[in-house]
Amino acid sequence: MGIEIIFLILAVLVVAFGIGVVVLNRRRQGVQPEQRPPARPLQPRPGGGSTLVDERPPTTTPGALVPDELVDEPPPIEEPPAGTLRERLAKARSTFAGAISGVLGRATITEESFEDLEEALLRADIGVGIADELLSVLRAKVKAKEITEPAGLLDALDAEMKERLAGADRSLNFETLDDGGTNVWMFVGVNGVGKTTTIGKLTKQQVDAGRTVLLAAGDTFRAAAAEQLTTWAERSDVEIVRGAEGADPSSVVFDGVEKAASKGIDVVMADTAGRLHTKSNLMDELGKVRRVAEKGAGKVTETLLVIDATTGQNGLIQAREFGEVTDVTGVVLTKLDGSAKGGIVFAIETELGIPVKLVGIGETIGDLIDFDSDEFVSALLER
């Protein structure tokens, strides 16, 4: 870092402060009196919580807390209702058919048809970039007279999207390790996406499928996170390794791996605290958890990024950042049973090449299912 740039930055800040005082005064002196009464006390707020830019060190002190993680929990073990993803999501979908039926309601393909399709894609959180891309493919086909009917437009879009998601390996990776080591499946993501619940559901499924599982409560940060995971361990009758609140998550996961290996357990499901991908120290911590998990008799064979279906365009950034520190191998899309369509995973898979492997579509333990890309696209474009 050259002296020049450092000095420049300092100069900017020093000057900016001077200007800031002026601007502030102008504002307080009646430029916007109705919004900013001059008498407003400006004492620093208690605890100094007024910053919008958080650059603090990792907060593992007892005074800190994490936003609410996962939430509604299934009543214990119930059989999943039968039916396809699409059928099961019908109630959520019915409210939004507007834009798509607009396309079909016209006798011919017009500019409005494209606008309606764009709106449908945007509403599903596909993102403006990919929506433009998909539509330009359609426009080209219309121009070449390959498509002449409005229904053909929808079919072509459906086919194009399915094509883009085709061929990915969506199975959960399990390896038989020579040295009797254990598979470690890590779960990462921002706060409140459903990591702990996903682990709970997946554990039950793996146990039912005949594998032995141990849970490692790597979220040592959020109040009562370990209690939440313990409830899940009890529901599937598997062992759990916990650390003290505020303990180093790497050591909890390491202990879990060691214990699992010594008992010949197949899979360790490692929970981690939710963290915003912008906090570099917390992301470093996550990288460490992954490295330490392989220090002993374990191999990380899956790192699953959990994404909430309501997530907007920020999801792509999350996937990129988590991918950088933990080498994410798959995405779990949760809460798809709500009114959100989870289109951001389309962007994550097609732009970053991270396959979506599982979908959470309800609150019962069976409501975690394999991701079916065709069903997903059909549900997204439900007419």
Partner 1 sequence: MFDNLSNRLEGIITKVRGKGRLTEADVDDVMKEIRTALLEADVNVTVVRSVCNRIREHAIGATRSKALDPGQQVVKAVNDELTRALGGETLSITYADKPPTVILMAGLQGSGKTTNSAKLANWFKSQGRNPIMIGSDLQRPAAVEQLRTLGRQIDVPVFSDPEDPILTAADGLEEAKRLGRDVVIVDTAGRLSIDAQMMEQVRLISGAVNPDYTFLVIDAMTGQDAVQTAEAFHNTLQIDGVIMSKMDGDARGGAALSVKEVIGRPIAFASTGEKIDEFEQFHPDRMASRILGMGDMLTLIEQAEKAFTEDQAEAAAAKLMEGQFTLDDFLEQMQALKKMGPLGGLMGMMPGMPKELKDAKIDDDDLKPVEAIITSMTPEERVFPNIIQGTRRARIAAGSGTTVADVNRLVKQFGEMQKMMKKMGMAGKPGKKGGKKGKKGKGSRAMPKGLPAGFDLEQAGIDISGLPGAPGMPGMPGLPR
Strand partners, 334: 308
Tell me if 28 contacts partner 1 by CB under 8 A. yes
Residues numbered 41-80 forming contacts with partner 1, rule: CB under 8 A = 41-56, 59, 62-73
Q: Exposure string (b/e) for 21-32, b if CB count within 10 Å is 16 or more? A: eeeeeeebeeee
Q: Which amino acid is at 22?
A: V
Torsion, Cα of 81, 85, 91, 96 (10° steps) = 180
Smallest separation, CB 276 to partner 1 (Å): 4
Q: Which residues contact 161 (CB under 8 A, 6 or more apart)?
A: 134, 346, 377, 380, 381
What is the phi-psi region of residue 192: left when phi exceeds 0, alpha when psi lies from -120 to 50, beta otherwise?
left
Smallest separation, CB 266 to partner 1 (Å): 24
CB-nearer residue toward partner 1: 38 or 180: 38
Contact criterion met (CB below 8 Å) for 172 and 302: yes
Smallest separation, CB 59 to partner 1 (Å): 5
Smallest separation, CB 156 to partner 1 (Å): 22
Residues numbered 261-300 forming contacts with partner 1, rule: CB under 8 A = 276-279
CB-nearer residue toward partner 1: 78 or 163: 78
Q: Which amino acid is at 298?
A: G
Tell me if 332 contacts partner 1 by CB under 8 A. no
Name the segment binding partner 1 (CB under 8 A); options: 152-160, 247-255, 297-305, 310-318.
Answer: 310-318
Tell me if 166 contacts partner 1 by CB under 8 A. no
CB-nearer residue toward partner 1: 243 or 298: 243
Tell me if 92 contacts partner 1 by CB under 8 A. yes
Tokens 């279906």 correspond to what residue? 309
CA distance 192 to 180: 35
CB-nearer residue toward partner 1: 16 or 77: 16
Using the rule CB under 8 A, which residue among 84, 212, 231, 364 binds partner 1?
A: 231
